[in-house]
Copies of this chain bind each other. A is one copy, B any other.
Amino acid sequence: MAFDAIETPFGKSDKIIGGAATYIAWCASNFTQPIKQISVVGGDFPQEELDALTARGVQMEGVQIKKDEKTFFWAGRYHMDMNTRDTLDTQLNVLGNFEPVVPDSYQDCEFLMLGNLVPAVQLSVINQLKNRPKLIVMDTMNFWMETCMEDLEKVIAKVDVLLVNDSEARQLSGQFSLVKAAQTIMEMGPKYLIIKKGEHGALLFHDNQVFFAPALPLEEVFDPTDAGDTFAGGFIGHLAKTKDISFENMKTAIIKGSAMASFCVEKFGTQRLREITNEDIQKRLNDFVQLVNFDIEVG
């Protein structure tokens, strides 16, 4: 949970509420409640933001509030293509020495979503859980591959589903072909790999199976920040709701994640995620069905 300041070719935000855990919680709460949040914020994080999430069924016992410190802050500027960006400022603040604590009331967790963060923190959460969750999903990024690969490999070995983007899949595997990259990464531990390709959709790999979900072509992409976290929130949210971790149901979960991500980019920050209704979501899911639906006779 963090503050972001975002510039795009189409506008500029003030310091707004961001962070992977924030987006995941806002998104997943459309599908399942309660959500048991683990994070850390400073004394500058608005209480009303925590209250708004609590009202959505997001429990806050695992969120540490360090009154005398400041919340993590990231500022970035997107290029014209909205796929590449420059980091303008990163202030670690409370994340500099974050030691997550899993409350006793979280021990019944069946579906664990590890948002993108330093691998040692992700590992600590896994290790604090007395019973292994039914499904552990992990997001990560290139920065950890470059700075703490050994830790990263330890976490990757313990999870069921890994989420990375296409360039990260190539970096992690040393393979250019995404099919070969997926094979290599699945040998590192995860039985499922999701490769996110932004506006080009997402691929789900498992054994020798592959599923592709497109991104919805949009007239305007206003702010792509945390679209990947929103995708993750929709994915884990659907799985936690249905408690079905089959490959078939993961396909549905990916379509739901893609639909949620398509909302996220329409406005700055979490704004769009806060205002959408279940009717909006159903309508958007129908757009996805229309987008890829075809009839073909295979003889």
- Report yes or no: B221 in contact with A177, Cβ–Cβ below 8 A: yes
- Report yes or no: A251 in contact with B294, Cβ–Cβ below 8 A: yes
Q: Which of A265-298 contact B (CB under 8 A)?
A: 282, 285-286, 288-296, 298
Write the nearest CB–CB distance from A262 to chain B, whole angstroms.
12
A200 touches which of B197, B282, B286 (Cβ 8 Å) = B197
With A177-B218, A177-B220, A179-B219 known as contacts, the answer to whether A289 contacts B296 (CB < 8 A) is: yes
Instruction: For chain A, give the interface size range.
Output: 35 or more
Write the nearest CB–CB distance from A248 to chain B, whole angstroms.
7
- The answer to whether the Cβ of A100 comes within 8 Å of any Cβ in the partner chain is no
A285 touches which of B211, B255, B298 (Cβ 8 Å) = B298
Q: What separation, in Å, do the CA atoms of A291 and B214 have in the docked complex?
A: 11
Q: What separation, in Å, do the CA atoms of A288 and B255 have in the docked complex?
A: 17
- The answer to whether the Cβ of A217 comes within 8 Å of any Cβ in the partner chain is yes
- Report yes or no: A179 in contact with B248, Cβ–Cβ below 8 A: no
- The answer to whether the Cβ of A75 comes within 8 Å of any Cβ in the partner chain is no
Contacts of A288 in B (CB 8 A): 296
- The answer to whether the Cβ of A212 comes within 8 Å of any Cβ in the partner chain is yes
Q: What separation, in Å, do the CA atoms of A181 and B248 have in the docked complex?
A: 35
- The answer to whether the Cβ of A180 comes within 8 Å of any Cβ in the partner chain is yes
With A176-B80, A177-B218, A217-B179 known as contacts, the answer to whether A295 contacts B252 (CB < 8 A) is: yes
Q: Which of A's residues lie within 8 Å of B, judged by CB?
A: 80-81, 176-180, 197, 200-201, 203, 209-214, 217-221, 248, 251-252, 255-256, 282, 285-286, 288-296, 298-299
> Shortest 5 CB-CB distances between A and B: which pairs?
A200-B200, A251-B294, A212-B214, A179-B219, A286-B298
Q: List 9 contacting pairs A-B, 8 Å CB cutoff, sorted by A.
A: A177-B218, A180-B219, A203-B217, A211-B292, A212-B214, A212-B217, A214-B214, A256-B296, A292-B292
